[in-house]
């Protein structure tokens, strides 16, 4: 009799209880193993489609290449479990504990991971398209190159998570926490990040075109070379953020806080910065052609060699700003405050 052969659930549990661990390729389709203690068992390549593993203890188990499609793993303990290349499409993992688990290359499309714990979990290259991850805890998880297109990550915790080159197109990250997350070259086109906390996150080279970032916290974030074309950052906090060489074409930044932000060589063509706070910001050689800066606060902002052709600076505060070499051709400066500003020709406005 092969190790994977057994006649009943009772026999499997009995053999496991006596110390047997090797059940590679076992056929357990639809079996009810709810609340079973299967710690350290080896079920690599096992057939567990539709199995009931609700509240099961699977700590340190091996489930590599296992078929767990539509399996019920609600509240299961999968701590440090190996699930690489496993198929969990449509599986129920609500409030399951997957801390330290290895899910590299696993398929979790349409899986339900609401409230699940995935602290320090490896999901490199995992497929999570349209997965439900609302309020999931992914602190310190590795999701490099993972596919999370249209995934629901509302209020999820992704602090210090690694998501480099991940696909998050049209994902919902509303209210999510991504403090100090590593998001270099991530694809967030059309994603919802409304009220998300991205403070001190690294988004260098990320694509956020068309993303919804209203009220998001991006203070101290690195957005250098990022593409934010057509994104909405109305009321967002970008204080001290680095936007060097970022593409902010037609960006909505109404009432946004960009105090002390680094925007040198950024492209803000036709960007809407109405009532935005840019005090102390560095806009060296930035392109603000036809941008709307009406009532914006540019107090002591660095605007050296900035391209402001056709920009609307109506009622803007440019007190103490440095405009040396700036191009103000056809710019609207009506009712703008220029007290103490250094004008393009080097003279100080009285």
pLDDT at 1: 38
How far apart, in whole angstroms, are the C-alpha atoms of residue 340 and residue 208?
37
* Dihedral (Cα; 164, 168, 172, 174), 10-degree rounding: 30
Domain-wise residue ranges, the chain: 175-350
End-to-end CA separation in angstroms for the chain:
96
Find the mean pLDDT for residues 201-224: 97
pLDDT at 6: 62
pLDDT in tens, 183-197: 999 999 999 999 999
How is 147-188 classified by DSSP, letter by letter?
A: B-TT-B-TT-B-TT-B-TT-B-TT-B-TT-B-TT-B-TT-B-
Instruction: Give the global pTM.
Output: 0.92
| Mean pLDDT across the chain | 95
How far apart, in whole angstroms, are the C-alpha atoms of residue 70 and residue 44?
17
309-324: b (≥16 Cβ within 10 Å) or e: bbbbbbbbbbbbbbbb
pLDDT of residue 4 exceeding 80 = no
pLDDT of residue 58 exceeding 90 = yes
DSSP state, residue 349: P
pLDDT of residue 269 exceeding 50 = yes
Find the mean pLDDT for residues 28-56: 96
Find the mean pLDDT for residues 130-139: 98
Q: Which fold has domain 175-350?
A: Pectate Lyase C-like (2.160.20)
pLDDT at 303: 97
Find the mean pLDDT for residues 311-332: 97
Q: Read off the pLDDT band of 13 (50, 70, 90).
A: confident
pLDDT at 150: 98
pLDDT in tens, 141-172: 999 999 999 999 999 999 999 999 999 999 99
How far apart, in whole angstroms, are the C-alpha atoms of residue 61 and residue 107?
18
């Amino acid at each position: 009799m092969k190790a994977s052969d057994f006649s009943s659930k009772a026999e499997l549990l009995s053999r496991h209880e006596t110390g047997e661990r090797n059940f590679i390729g076992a056929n357990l389709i639809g079996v009810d193993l709810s609340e079973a203690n299967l710690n350290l068992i080896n079920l690599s390549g096992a057939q567990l489609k539709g199995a009931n593993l609700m509240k099961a203890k699977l700590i340190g188990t091996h489930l590599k290449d296992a078929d767990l499609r539509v399996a019920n793993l609600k509240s299961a303990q999968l701590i440090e479990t190996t699930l690489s290349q496993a198929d969990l499409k449509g599986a129920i993992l609500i409030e399951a504990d997957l801390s330290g688990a290895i899910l590299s290359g696993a398929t979790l499309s349409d899986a339900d991971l609401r409230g699940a714990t995935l602290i320090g979990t490896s999901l490199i290259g995992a497929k999570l398209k349209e997965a439900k991850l609302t309020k999931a805890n992914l602190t310190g998880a590795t999701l490099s190159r993972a596919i999370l297109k249209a995934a629901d990550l509302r209020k999820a915790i992704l602090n210090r998570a690694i998501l480099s080159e991940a696909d998050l197109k049209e994902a919902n990250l509303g209210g999510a926490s991504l403090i100090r997350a590593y998001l270099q070259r991530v694809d967030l086109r059309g994603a919802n990040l409304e009220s998300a906390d991205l403070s001190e996150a690294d988004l260098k080279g990320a694509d956020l075109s068309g993303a919804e970032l209203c009220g998001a916290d991006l203070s101290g974030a690195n957005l250098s070379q990022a593409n934010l074309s057509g994104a909405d950052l109305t009321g967002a906090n970008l204080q001290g953020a680095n936007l060097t060489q970022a593409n902010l074409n037609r960006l909505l930044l109404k009432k946004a806080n960009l105090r002390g932000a680094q925007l040198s060589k950024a492209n803000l063509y036709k960007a809407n910065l109405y009532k935005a706070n840019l005090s102390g910001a560095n806009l060296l050689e930035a392109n603000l052609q036809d941008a709307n800066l009406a009532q914006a606060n540019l107090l002591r902002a660095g605007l050296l060699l900035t391209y402001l052709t056709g920009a609307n600076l109506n009622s803007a505060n440019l007190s103490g700003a440095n405009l040396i070499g700036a191009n103000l051709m056809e710019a609207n400066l009506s009712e703008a405050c220029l007290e103490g500003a250094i004008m393009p020709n080097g003279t100080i406005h009285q």
